[in-house]
Every structure is written in structure tokens, then in C-alpha cells.
Structure 1
Amino acid sequence: MMCSRRLRAGIATILLTAASSSFALNTATIVSSVLSPDCLEYRITGICYWLYCTYGGCSVRTSVKVRHYVPDAVVSSYSNTGENPWIEVRAMSMPNASARAGGDGTTNHDNENNLAKFKNADVVGHPGGYVLGRFASSSGYACQGAGTAFMPYLLSTLDTVAWRYNIPEVVYPEALIPGMREVGSRTGLNLWGNVYPRGGLLHQSDDHMAGAVVAQRAGDVVTRRGQLHVYQPLLADAEDGYWPAGALVETDAQTGKWQELAPSLSRTCTVFPHANTRVQAQRGDYAWALWRPYSCCEREGQVFLGSVDFY
């Protein structure tokens, strides 16, 4: 009982410390942020069937199939090259000979509707896997995500040609045809920006929206294979009794959702666009945890026979 009280007190201390951190994002804050039932969204979805054999014969065993979200990565979107808001990984993406400056491309007038902005983006493995595993396993069996803590999956300072010059995606149909790949829509009066070309340049007068669109672009790249970018795919291979997340698709929570980490820490997850309050970062630096859905069931035999979903 005393140990339980100490554990709860320790978690509360971490949460309070994280909530009060408004000037810098650190690993402790990110780890504590995984304690979110809204983002985890744990549920039992079906039953898996296994063939279990011994010298005495074979039998069919079952295990519960579960589905929940896992924070695979922290996606940072920031104006000034070398100033990733996540302090401990900032050294991964310092300025280099081909990636030096950043920031807005036209004037400093807030009322300019055609304001060109530039954002760097880093996709780094989320460090909260252990805490998330313990948190999820309190509800039952927990699935493994694709991300490895602190692993760089995309650093825009190393992806200069694609990220700063939009080559070759500037001529892709998705970049040329309005409405083909967009965060929000014109008809819904909530258009935040276009997904393609997936680089750091866009026109958006709202800095928070610009940061979110760039984060969506970076997430779009790393959750697909064979893209013409310098990156590592953030994908896991399917196995018997394990169904990993696939490609991230804008506005579709069934493919992934976002938890804001900086400039303000949120305890809930959402997709872009959203109607929540948008806090503007003074230096144009934002960060989100990318949560993606996984399904799995505990292995109960040598041969996987299949699964049945309740819905």
C-alpha cells in the first residue's frame, strides 16, 4: 500500500512538473505525457485463435485481441534551424552547409494573408515506451509500437533537396491539384494547408497552423516506404497476432492522431484541423507526439489460425 501511494505521488509530481514547463520541452515532460487515456484509447476488439500442440496432441487456444494507440514519435516543427524545442535532441539537427537559415519568407506584418513561412521538422522516436507499456498493460495485453526511443527518423537539415527546394514533389499531382491532399478543406472553411509538396515551405498567416501542417507532412513521409526523402521509415512488419499501423492520412484519426507537447502540453489527442485553442509559440517552435493505432493478441500456440473481431 505504501509503495502504491509513493508511485501515485511520483506520477503526480511528474505531471505537475511537466504542466509547469512552458519555456522548454524536455524528455521528462514527454515521458509523463503518455499517461493519457484519451490518447491511448485502449479497447478489446476480438478474439485470436491459436493451434497449440504437444506430444500428447493439439488443441485450439484463444487470446483476447486488443487495439490501442502508441506514441511512436515526437514530431517537432520549428522556424529557427538548430532550435528544436525538445532540448535533449537539439544537437541532432544543428545548422550545416546546406541548411542554415529558417523563418518567414516575406514581411513581419501579421495581417499579410500571403505570408510565406518555413519550418524545419524532426521526427524522433518517442521516449515514453516503457511508461506507456506499463500504463497500457494495466488494462490488459499491450501492443508494441514501431518507434525506437530517440531514434531519428527524419531530420530536415539532412533532407535539404526535398525539404527546402521541394524537389521533385513540387510537380507531383498532389501538389498541383487543389483539394487532392489538404489538411482541412475550402468548403469546410477550415483549410490549414496542403500536404504536398512535403517540405518546409508554405503560405499560412497563422504560425500554429503552419507548424501543424509541416508536422503532418513529416509524419506523412516517415509512415511510408520508398519516398524521395532522406529518412527512415517508421513502420513495423505485420506478424501472426500483430497488426501494426500503416500510412498516416490527414484528418483520419484511424491512421494516427496528435498530442500537443509544445508550446502547451495537452492531455488529449486530436487530428488537424481542429477547433481547439491554438497557442502561438513566441519563437515559432512546436512539437507533437504522433500516436498511431496497433492491434495485437498474446501468442497462445505455435500456429496462428486467425481472429474474429466483435465489430
Structure 2
Amino acid sequence: MIGHATLRPLALAILLASGPSVALDTGSIAASVLSQSCLGYRVVGLCFWLHCTASGCSVRTSTKVRHFIPELVVSSYTTTGNNPWSEMAPLSSPIIGAEGGGNLITPNTRRDNLPRFKNVDGIGHPGGWAATQLAAQSGYACASGATAFMPYYLSTLDTVAWRHGIPESVYPEAVTPGLREIGSQAARNMWGNLYPRQGFLVQSDDFKAAAVMAQRAGDVITRNGQPHVYWPLTPAPRDGYWPPGPIVENDGSTHKWQLLHPQRQNTCAIFPSNTVQSADGGYTWSLWRPYSCCKREGQTFLFSLDFAGDAS
């Protein structure tokens, strides 16, 4: 894993030193948080707190809410160093062992079985962090567990796993058909296998290949103890605050993707989804994950009760 203290200042320094973007910039990424479709805000229950003063104790309640937060900006792109989020592109410049990029695909339609390669960067979403830090103070919104501009994953630093598939190429998930796939064979919409979580995939459609790579990186980032070079995004729960668990492919209750490049969409989806081809082989999504929380109304958290009858 890479160090939080080292990478975050580096990312911020690069951001401040960069000039205007010619592709995807921080301003347009921050604006994407306004999507009500992706937010999915709901009041889901009540929290119960024990509030004590010198005159005695009482039980107070607060509203429990649930909504999605854009935590990561995940870019999946062909040419090493060409992250579509141009202000962050210097973070993933070519280094020894990760100089090259590009696809082995040829224009010949009879040869669509060669692997595509994508680099992937997963960086803390600037808009999601800023918006939730302010909104959380009201007690009617949850704070993001991600840190803005933090490089949680840069595939150029994860050379052994991302470019060589070591050790995941021999995992059961990688060699067992039908296990950990995005889409399904039965529904005839299978885009690719999640394992091994590396940068190569045999896939004739460029968007689908990029999406599978983004899902692979997100799968790593949202888990602890993976055999990759990364910083895990696994916020800890606390009284009145329930962050999300790992993302799971094909499960919209664990995450959503919002396309930002090559076109910005105001809706979210899980993969498989509608495809939009990029001329330069670069794609970027916001990764949204669900949080639940309630405002502290006492010194001691007692329990929460969902309107559906489930307690947490």
C-alpha cells in the first residue's frame, strides 16, 4: 500500500501548478455532484440517543437518512500518462516498468480476440468531499469517507499486479467460468471477468473494456488487504454513521457509476450499461457509494430503527 501522507500533498501540488484543462477538468467534475438521480436521497428511519444533564437523562431521536456520495473519480485510459482528468494526469506519468500503453487490437474485423489494455487511476472526488463536508453539519446528510484529490490507486505504481496479473491469474475467480463476471452469459450481456484484476481484457468493444477495468480497480480500492499497491477506501462506522461496504459487480445497492468522459451524463448506472465510445480511448466515471447517518442528539447512541423494521 502507498502512503497517504506522501501522495495527497503531491496531488494537491500538481493540481495547483496545472494550467487550464483541455479535456476533463476539476470544475466539471465538481459540478457532477448535482445529479439528483445519482444522489438517491431517502429518509429511512430514526436514531435513538441517551441525552443526560445534571437534572437527569432522556431519550432523544434524530432522523436517519441514506444517500449516495461520489467518492472516487475513476479514469480508464489507453495511453500511459493520458488520464482524461488532465490536471491529475501528471500523477500517472510513465515510469520504469510502466512506460507503454495501447491496445493489441487491429482494425481487421477477423481479429477481435486480441487483448485491450487500460491504465486506471482512482482519485478522491473533489465535489463529493466538498459538498458533504458542508451538508453533514446540518445532520441531514452524511460526510464522505474519501479525501478529495487523494490518489487511492494509480495502476502505474501497481506494475506486477496490473500488467502481469500476479498473483491473481491463478485465483479460482480467474479460472472458473461464470464466477465474478460483469453481466452474465445467460442474459447475453457479459462484458468480462472481474478477475484477474489487471489491465488486460479480450473485448472487442472499447467502452466495455474500459468499464471492466474501472470495476476491477474499484473492487480493489474498496477492500482491505488486496495484493495490489493502493490505499484502501474503507471508512470505519461510528455511532450514527454507517459507511458503505465493498462494491459488488451487478449490484446497484453497493455502488453506481456516472459517466464523466467522453460525455458527462447526469444519471448513474451499474455495468452493463449504455456504451459511449471515446475517440482517444479514455473514459472517466464518478463512483458513487451509499451512506447512512443521523445527527448526534445525545452522549450515547442506543440504536437505530429503519421504517422497514430492520434495526442497526
Provide the TM-score with structure 1 as the length reference: 0.89
Aligned position for 2:44:
45
Q: 2:278 aligns with which of 268, 281, 302?
A: 281
Aligned position for 1:253:
252
Secondary structure, in 3 states, of the residue corresponding to 2:33? coil
Supply the distance in 2 between the matched residues of 1:110 and 1:43 (Cα, whole angstroms).
Answer: 48
- One-letter amino acid of the structure 2 residue matched with residue 150 of structure 1: F
8 Å Cα contact 1:112/1:205 also seen in 2 = no
Aligned position for 1:77:
76
8 Å Cα contact 2:68/2:290 also seen in 1 = yes
8 Å Cα contact 2:139/2:294 also seen in 1 = no
Aligned position for 2:17:
none
State the Cα distance separating 1:203 from its structure 2 match: 0.4
State the Cα distance separating 1:134 from its structure 2 match: 8.0
Structure 2 residue 102 is the aligned partner of structure 1 residue 103: yes
Secondary structure, in 3 states, of the residue corresponding to 1:91? helix
Structure 2 residue 306 is the aligned partner of structure 1 residue 309: yes
| Cα RMSD for the two superposed structures | 1.9
Comparing 188-197 with 104-113, greater Cα deviation is found at 104-113
Unaligned runs of 5+ in 1: 1-21
8 Å Cα contact 1:76/1:286 also seen in 2 = yes
- One-letter amino acid of the structure 2 residue matched with residue 79 of structure 1: T
Aligned position for 1:168:
167
Supply the distance in 2 between the matched residues of 1:212 and 1:54 (Cα, whole angstroms).
Answer: 54
Cα 1:111–1:64 shift into 2, 3 Å: farther
- One-letter amino acid of the structure 2 residue matched with residue 24 of structure 1: A
Aligned position for 1:31:
30
Aligned position for 1:10:
none
Aligned position for 1:209:
208
Number of corresponding residues: 289
Cα 1:139–1:69 shift into 2, 3 Å: farther
Structure 2 residue 203 is the aligned partner of structure 1 residue 200: no
Secondary structure, in 3 states, of the residue corresponding to 1:33? helix
Supply the distance in 2 between the matched residues of 1:132 and 1:44 (Cα, whole angstroms).
Answer: 19
Aligned position for 2:147:
148
8 Å Cα contact 1:216/1:250 also seen in 2 = yes
Aligned position for 1:132:
131
State the Cα distance separating 1:104 from its structure 2 match: 1.0
Supply the distance in 2 between the matched residues of 1:136 and 1:191 (Cα, whole angstroms).
Answer: 39
Supply the distance in 2 between the matched residues of 1:104 and 1:266 (Cα, whole angstroms).
Answer: 26
Aligned position for 2:296:
299
8 Å Cα contact 2:129/2:143 also seen in 1 = no
State the Cα distance separating 1:283 from its structure 2 match: 1.1
Aligned position for 1:268:
267
What is the percent sequence identity of the aligned residues? 59
- Which string of whole-angstrom CA distances, capped at 9 and with x for unpartnered residues, describes residues 108-148 of structure 1? 33553313100000000000035533896799711012211
Cα 1:272–1:138 shift into 2, 3 Å: farther
Supply the distance in 2 between the matched residues of 1:136 and 1:105 (Cα, whole angstroms).
Answer: 47
Runs of 4+ aligned residues of structure 1 deviating over 4 Å after TM superposition are 134-140
8 Å Cα contact 1:111/1:205 also seen in 2 = no
Provide the TM-score with structure 2 as the length reference: 0.89
Secondary structure, in 3 states, of the residue corresponding to 1:296? strand
State the Cα distance separating 1:279 from its structure 2 match: 1.6
- One-letter amino acid of the structure 2 residue matched with residue 46 of structure 1: G
- One-letter amino acid of the structure 1 residue matched with residue 102 of structure 2: G
Secondary structure, in 3 states, of the residue corresponding to 2:34? coil
- Which string of whole-angstrom CA distances, capped at 9 and with x for unpartnered residues, describes residues 235-266 of structure 1? 10000111001100001011101000000100
State the Cα distance separating 1:28 from its structure 2 match: 0.5
Aligned position for 2:12:
none
